[in-house]
Chain A
Amino acid sequence: MIPRWLRRLWATPTGRFGLVVVALMALTAVVSLAWTPFDPQYSDVRNRWAVPSWPHVLGTDDTGRDILSLIMAGARTTLFVSLGAGVIATVVGIALAALGALTARWLRETIAILVDILIAFPVLIIAMMISSVWGGSLWVVIWAVGIGFGVNIARVTRPELRRVQQSDFVLAGRAAGLTAGQSLARHLLPNVAPVFIVQLSWSMAVAVLAEAGLSYLGFGASVVEPSWGILLADLQRYIGVHPLSVVWPGLAITITVLALNLLGDGLREATDPTIRHRSGPRAPAQTHTPEVVA
């Protein structure tokens, strides 16, 4: 039995595109662990700057490394960073939203103000704060996006949580003796999950862009790790002579981010009851990639 939201998602061409491409990217990342056309770090010195052709489908770089293999291996890093950032954003988001909705009034209001302040911190600024102390690494990207987007999630989830909290079945549950924690786990979280999963999809799009941008700046992946951002920085140095090779890693990033954004949009439409009917004015688009880094 396919759940209803999935069928709704599949019914729109954009939702289908998002789902298929995200699945393909994840698959590529997994496959690259076992197999890539060439070893991504192997330099075929006699084949430097090969034009796209067989066997180097997307050509080679300045040291003769196969660009397709590098991009496939880079998908691994991208997947790792976006999943990691997603997990942290979830934890931060749920924690702040729950604290901001369910605690004593003074604490609730303080948290809400704090979230309003923190939301002004761009992911890049957070990343720079972290990496000026601990140096650059993929964890910097994961934490920066996780914290930065977690605050975003908290802001969107909090009002939703408060709305559900005041509904009759939750009150009945509390009256029947559920503790606050039980109520949160059984009634509140499952009911805000749709809002939340949509945000998660968008946060992963931000993570992909952030990984590329921060790695490009030198705050993310180290030069020996396979990364789309590092690849862009490498190829940029020869942009005057070999402009075509820069196209590929950029396309990989764009398609992945586009797919994650569309998946988020599709999930929103598939799960939000207020926009179930296609006619009539639609909810305003959320600027869900506001402080994009890359």
Chain B
Amino acid sequence: MLRYAIVRGALLIAGLLVSSVLIFLTLRVFPGDVAQLIAGTQASPDQVDALRESLGLNRPLVTQYTDWIGGIFRGDLGTSLLSGASVGEELFLKAQVTIPLGIMALVIALLIAVPFGILAALLRGRRGGTALSVGAQALAAVPVVWAGMMLVVVFSVWLGWLPPQGFPRTGWSTPWRAIQSLLLPALTIGIVEGAMLMRFVRSATLQAAGQDFVRTAAAKGLTRTRALIQHGIPAVGLSIVTVLGLQVAGIIVGSVVIEQLFTLPGVGRMLVADVGTRDLIKVQSELLVLTGFVLIVGFLVDLVHRSIDPRQREAS
């Protein structure tokens, strides 16, 4: 286990390094003259020079890169080119919307995927099972933006239960209103992600049903369904853990689009705005934080999976 953790940890560090280099290269090196790009075509050569100087773009690339990474290790994510505000502080503020949104979406996705996935497997070959599978297949094809719009039409326009967009200015000091405004966005991401996860749960359950230990339990007198629920479901839980990393990546991506749709002041909307205004220093740090988050979640998921699966624990 320790050996595995070390090897996997080395891969994580390699991943973080490769991503940071890729992001740095794409945003700083490939575009050619970054200062010109940021200043725009209207700027005079003097202005561009001044900008280049103030950004430290005259220094060697390696120095620029190590400065950036060094700053991140010290907790300094840089400052915005446009407002001069600290990127770290802004990210911290926006994360207070995005992280609760992500957690709510994940919970909703699991609440949908696990019971319906198992049910679809149990009812395989019958009308109900087919209907569930077709429904999941269709829902997984729905674009998140459109799912959000449809939920707005139903719950805000027709029923008037929930706000169609926005987040209370008062933030989490009015927790009820904050949760209310995150409910539809979280439901949107949760339903679409849940539909994808449900198909996975279904086939994992079917696979578990074919395993020897489930057949043995059935042979010893349990009904097939009971044998599956008592002995097969833990194995299903295990395989859900393996795709959890993918789910988290899906939720992050979904939140970028959904925060735009519901005008939520979160990390995703901040990133979209910064890409639009070409605040490259900010975008660079934000992208690294997001990919770093995805990579770290993947690492943790692998460790958890390794430590709870008895077969794998012995193998290492």
Contact = CB atoms under 8 A, between A and B. Distances in A.
Given A132-B280, A246-B149, A258-B137, A292 B204 contact: no
B200 interface: yes
Nearest to B297: A120
A293 B257 contact: yes
B30 interface: yes
Interface in B123-161: 137-138, 140-146, 149-150, 152-153, 157-158
Interface stretch (B88-96, B177-185, B242-250): B242-250
B157 to A, nearest CB: 5
Interface string A202-214: 0001000100110
B210 A294 contact: no
B260 to A, nearest CB: 6
B202 interface: yes
Contacts of A229: 145
A114 B18 contact: yes
A124 B258 CA distance: 13
Contacts of B51: none
Interface in B1-48: 11, 14-15, 18-19, 22-23, 26-27, 30-31, 37
Contacts of B249: 120, 122, 290-291
Given A120-B249, A122-B294, A128-B287, A258 B27 contact: no
A124 B253 contact: yes
Contact of B291 (A120, A134, A250): A120
A133 interface: yes
Given A120-B295, A287-B200, A209 B23 contact: no
Contacts of A257: 141-143
B118 interface: no
Contacts of A240: 157, 164
Interface stretch (B56-64, B99-107, B222-230, B268-276): B268-276
B205 to A, nearest CB: 10
Contacts of A289: 140, 196
B207 interface: yes
A205 to B, nearest CB: 7
B253 A122 contact: yes
Contacts of A219: 275
B275 A128 contact: yes
B200 A117 contact: no
Contacts, number: 172
B278 A132 contact: yes
A280 interface: yes
Main secondary structure of the interface of B (DSSP, over half): helix
B143 A253 contact: yes
B306 interface: no
B199 A290 contact: no
B19 A133 contact: no
B252 interface: yes
Interface in B198-245: 199-200, 202-204, 206-207, 209-210, 239, 243
Nearest to A218: B276
A213 B144 contact: yes
A123 B291 CA distance: 11
B206 A212 contact: no
A209 B143 contact: yes
A216 B257 contact: yes
Given A121-B19, A281-B207, A282-B203, A236 B149 contact: yes
A24 interface: no
30 contacts: A117-B19, A120-B291, A120-B294, A121-B19, A121-B294, A124-B256, A128-B272, A128-B275, A128-B283, A128-B287, A132-B275, A133-B27, A209-B143, A218-B276, A232-B146, A239-B152, A240-B157, A246-B149, A253-B143, A254-B138, A254-B146, A262-B137, A280-B210, A283-B203, A284-B207, A287-B243, A290-B196, A291-B249, A292-B192, A292-B196
Given A213-B257, A246-B146, 18 more contacts: A117-B19, A120-B249, A122-B250, A128-B272, A128-B283, A133-B31, A213-B144, A213-B145, A216-B260, A232-B143, A236-B149, A239-B149, A239-B153, A254-B138, A257-B142, A284-B204, A285-B202, A287-B200
